[in-house]
Amino acid sequence: MVPRRTQDHGPHRLTELGEQMESAKKEAPSEPLAVPGAER
């Protein structure tokens, strides 16, 4: 699966996506059920 993704997007695009994921992790709630509107 990884080789196919590398072909589809190229290594630079994969690096960019990885950086976006790291950034999103910092903003994501660590406790999803603590988010207003989340069902318990």
Which burial class, exposed, middle or buried, applies to 23 when counting CB atoms under 10 A from its CB (0-12, 13-18, 19+)?
exposed
Report pLDDT for 23. Answer: 93
Token readout for 11 is 């290594």
d(CA 34, CA 38): 7
Report pLDDT for 20. Answer: 94
Compute mean pLDDT per 10 residues along the chain, 40 residues long, and list them. 61 90 88 75
Report pLDDT for 16. Answer: 93
Report pLDDT for 40. Answer: 60
Report pLDDT for 1. Answer: 44
Report pLDDT for 38. Answer: 72
Threshold 0.75, pTM exceeds: no
